[in-house]
Amino acid sequence: MPDISWNLALWDQNYDWTLEGEEWSSWWGGSEAQWFGSIYPRIHRHLPATKVLEIAPGHGRWTRYLLQYCESYVGIDLSGQAIDACKRRFARAPQASFFQNDGISLGDAPDGAFDFIFTFDSLVHAEMDVLRQYMPQLLSKLSDRGVAFIHHSNFNEMPPETDNPHSRASSVSADTFKELVEACGGQVLAQETLNWGGPNLIDCFTTFGKAGAHGDWEPVRIINDRWVDEMTIIRETQSPYSTLPSHHGGLAHAPREPGTLYKGARALKGLIRKYAG
Ligand SMILES: C[S@@+](CC[C@H](N)C(=O)[O-])C[C@H]1O[C@@H](n2cnc3c(N)ncnc32)[C@H](O)[C@@H]1O
């Protein structure tokens, strides 16, 4: 089962990062289509955020979008070469800083600072022992009403003989993750189990915050066995729009001025609050 040394050997040494992870987005027709069609709709309530923490950014497939929605950003990854790649790729983004860690420590991120913590397509390979180390730190890094969106394994819910071609962590499920959040003083806001790349609901997105910060919220539970359909629709009907000409070169290529969208989106949310209630 994937442990920290398995992850380090694969992502730091053996993986060919030539395409910067873009190859994993080909099912959606590219990362731009995947971000706007699949990821952003699930996290838009939490953006823009003043400070964003991303766990395991790899070569920054999602960092380039997250940077548009925040004033400052911290990325922490186990792989030193991934961190070096992010430092090079986002050298012109002064609001971003990147740190290598040991696969369990978030010591480089300040406590109580982050309105949004995000990780996607990475901690699916983290077993419960790693998540047990991370969880108390994640909760302490969040600001009072901050929210974390964590993509993790649900493989522990599968029958023992289930094939595991995507190397999902076998000790983790939506339920074990929720218990961990609650045991560490957190409150689950939503959980979505989904069929990543096949018929089985092997993955889960959990959104959570600090206990009590969101009132007596009843967790939303979504069982999504149409993830592959969603992916196909995005590829076939949305991704062509990501190729259209754009007067600023498209959001993903935009950050001429860091945080431009952050400022615009914040102003817009202020106006909506004022005039639309
Ligand atoms: C499949 S790549 C995904 C990268 C990025 N999230 C993306 O979607 O393009 C997995 C990344 O997770 C990192 N990683 C794996 N286990 C980790 C851990 N326990 N703590 C921090 N980073 C980890 C790896 O070093 C690698 O950069």
Residue with more model confidence, 163 or 269: 163
| Dist. CA 136–CA 153, nearest whole Å | 19
pLDDT, the chain, mean: 92
pTM of the model: 0.92
140, 190 in Cβ contact below 8 A? Answer: no
Spans of all domains in the chain = 4-276
Indicate if ligand 1 lies below 6 Å from the C-beta of 82.
Answer: yes
User: How many percent of the chain have pLDDT more than 90?
Assistant: 87
Output the 3-class SS for 119-150. ECCCHHHCCHHHHHHHHHHHHHHEEEEEEEEE
3-state secondary structure of 18: coil
Res 52: pLDDT = 98
Res 262: pLDDT = 55
- 126: tokens are 């983290």
Distance in Å, CA 272 to ligand 1 centroid: 36
Fold of 4-276: Rossmann fold (3.40.50)
pLDDT tens figures, 41-64: 999 999 999 999 999 999 999 999
Cβ count within 10 A of residue 24: 14
pLDDT tens figures, 99-127: 999 999 999 999 999 999 999 999 999 99
Indicate if ligand 1 lies below 6 Å from the C-beta of 11.
Answer: yes
Indicate if ligand 1 lies below 6 Å from the C-beta of 85.
Answer: no
Indicate if ligand 1 lies below 6 Å from the C-beta of 75.
Answer: no
| Dist. CA 36–CA 187, nearest whole Å | 27
Indicate if ligand 1 lies below 6 Å from the C-beta of 58.
Answer: yes
Res 5: pLDDT = 96
**pLDDT of 170 above 50:** yes
Distance in Å, CA 123 to ligand 1 centroid: 7
**pLDDT of 255 above 50:** no
